[in-house]
Structure formats: C-alpha cells, structure tokens
C-alpha cells in the first residue's frame, strides 16, 4: 500500500534519509496534501498536516480515508480488502488511540488546576466523540492484571478507554495515558509546546471529528487565557473515563475533587456555557455549526493533464 501510493500513484515524496532510528529511508514520506504516510510499529499510519483552521483539519482527516480507499481501488483490491478505522483489535483485545496534537504557548504552565480541568473535559467529551464499542477487552490481551470491575460490559461509549491507566506519561507506545507528556513541538520550542493527546477515538463522522477537535481547541484557549471554570475537576480522571464509557448514556455519576457527584452530560453543559461566556462571538470558527459543513472533493491537475483526487477535499459551509 505504502509503495503503491508513493511509487505508482505519486501521491507524495518518500523519505530518502533516516528521520529517526525507527524511521529508516523508505519507511514513509510526505503527501501532496502536506500530510505524512508511514509505517509505525508495523502498521500503516496517516497524519494530517498542521492546520490553523478547524475546517481544514477535518477535511484533511477525511482526505486520508479517501486516499487509502483510492489506492485500494487502483490496486484492484477494493472488493476484497478494506481498512477498518477503529481503535480496537477484536482478535487480541488490544486498543490504540487516535492521536491529537495541539500547539500551545510555552509560558502557560500546566499546573494542577489547569491539568485537572483539562482532564475532566477530556474524560467527559466522549459522550459526543466516542466511536462506540460492543463488549470489553479480554485480560489475555495485556501483560498486566486488569482491575476487577464487576459484570461484563455490553456496550461502551469509547473504544480505547479500557487501556488508559495513567493521567499523563512521557512515553505513549507501551503504557497508555490520557496525555503524553513528551514535549516535541513542530515550532520554536522556546515559544510553543506540543500537547499530545492519546485519549481520542477515530471518528468516521466528520461532525464528530469537528466536535472533538473544535471543543478541545476552545478549552485549550481558555487554559492559555486563565479563564477556566473552577469547580469541575474530577477526583480520579482515569477511573471516571472508564465509568462514563461503561455507563453508555452520559448520565452516570462521577465524583469530583470536592466530593460532589455530577454526570458527564452535566459537566459538558457547564463547559459549553462557560466557553460561550468567555469566547462566544470572538471569531467565526467559535460559532461554527459542524452540522452545516459539506465535504466537496477537490480535484487537482497532474502534469499529464489527467484529473486525480490525491487526498484533497474542500470543506464549505452550507447555507442555513
């Protein structure tokens, strides 16, 4: 697949040199849409380019799906082979997150209060960003003992929540955490940090993807401006993440740091109201309705004069 994309479809430029000790020459490359396609720990991975606008980020996410499907069809395997965009290996029970990266100002410290509020938001946002999952993981899939959690769960809001055991860790490939504390900004490190989140599900719906990225960006803006709500910190964000996912409705009560209990939907309503008060009307994207976005394939001319879609999409807002 990788070789076909770069060598046959000419969808990008393959790497000729080492990028890292795990990325030798030919392991991947840059795509014409600005993203990357590469092998990571034995599986194919697609990364969008850096985006300043929400609509671009969502469009390029969907463009990656279309690019892979187009490659399958050109290889003559479109009827026999399919890529499954999910976060769970149903054969082993292993789970994996859809990584999100956000640029933040370096001078803003992620102290206990800011981190706690961010974790509360991330734990509860799964009520509208979770991809859903039938059943639960088998302990045989892991090399550690899972905590006993009572009766089996028939349905979960989120696919990858079962594996998050820490709030934040410097390494993300083995021990899964909600936030990967590894700080590798793709910008001036003196001015910016890269917040690397591991808690998200892969979304088939552009609507859910827009909500996931857009609402998180708003919360990070509140963090940078020191304008967060002060009574929404969870006592145990990892435990609450699992409880919310297992409840399946968003109505299950979770415990806050001050001893009170609230449900995920209630907490998200508070985040929404607070964000509207602080940021409402500030710019066009803050009031963007994801339900009014339409995907329109963008076709580009190649030197041969033949029109091909090479992972390009335009996101346009439809009239109300």
23 has which bridge partners?
20
Least Cα distance to 120 among 263, 286, 273, 247 occurs for: 263
Give the separation between CA 21 and CA 30, rounded to whole angstroms: 18
Residue 17 near residue 8, CB atoms below 8 Å:
no
180 has which bridge partners?
169, 196
Q: Which of 40, 89, 154, 314 is catalytic?
A: 40
**Residue 242: CB partners within 8 Å, gap ≥ 6?**
149, 161, 162, 164
Residue 234 near residue 123, CB atoms below 8 Å:
yes
Rg, Å, the chain Cα set: 20
Q: Is 201 marked active-site?
A: no
In the numeric block, the tokens 């009239």 are attached to 319
Give the separation between CA 117 and CA 124, rounded to whole angstroms: 11
Sign of CA dihedral 182, 239, 232, 98: positive
Residues involved in catalysis: 40
């Amino acid at each position: 697949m990788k070789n076909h994309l770069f060598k046959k479809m000419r969808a990008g430029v393959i790497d000729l040199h080492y990028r890292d000790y795990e990325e030798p020459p030919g392991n991947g490359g840059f795509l014409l849409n600005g993203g990357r396609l590469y092998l990571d720990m034995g599986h194919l991975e697609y990364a969008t380019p850096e985006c300043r606008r929400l609509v671009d980020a969502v469009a390029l996410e969907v463009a990656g799906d279309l690019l892979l499907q187009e490659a399958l069809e050109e290889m003559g395997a479109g009827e026999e082979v399919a890529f499954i965009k999910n976060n769970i290996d149903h054969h082993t029970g292993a789970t994996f997150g859809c990584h999100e990266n956000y640029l933040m100002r370096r001078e803003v410290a992620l102290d206990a209060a800011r981190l706690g509020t961010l974790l509360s938001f991330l734990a509860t946002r799964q009520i509208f960003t979770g991809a859903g999952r039938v059943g639960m993981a088998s302990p045989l899939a892991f090399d550690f003992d899972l905590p006993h959690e009572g009766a089996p769960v028939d349905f979960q809001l989120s696919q990858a929540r079962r594996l998050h055991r820490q709030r934040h860790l410097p390494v993300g490939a083995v021990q899964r955490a909600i936030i990967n504390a590894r700080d590798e900004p793709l910008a001036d490190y003196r001015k910016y940090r890269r917040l690397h989140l591991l808690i998200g599900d892969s979304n088939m719906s552009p609507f859910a993807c827009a909500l996931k990225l857009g609402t998180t960006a708003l919360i990070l803006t509140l963090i940078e401006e020191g304008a967060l709500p002060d009574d929404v910190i969870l006592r145990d964000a990892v435990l609450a993440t699992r409880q919310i996912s297992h409840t399946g409705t968003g109505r299950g009560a979770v415990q806050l740091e001050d001893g009170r209990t609230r449900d995920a939907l209630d907490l998200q309503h508070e985040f929404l109201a607070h964000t509207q008060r602080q940021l409402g009307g500030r710019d066009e994207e803050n009031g963007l309705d994801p339900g009014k976005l339409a995907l329109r394939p963008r076709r580009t001319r190649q030197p041969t004069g033949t029109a091909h879609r090479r992972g390009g999409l335009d996101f346009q807002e439809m009239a109300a």
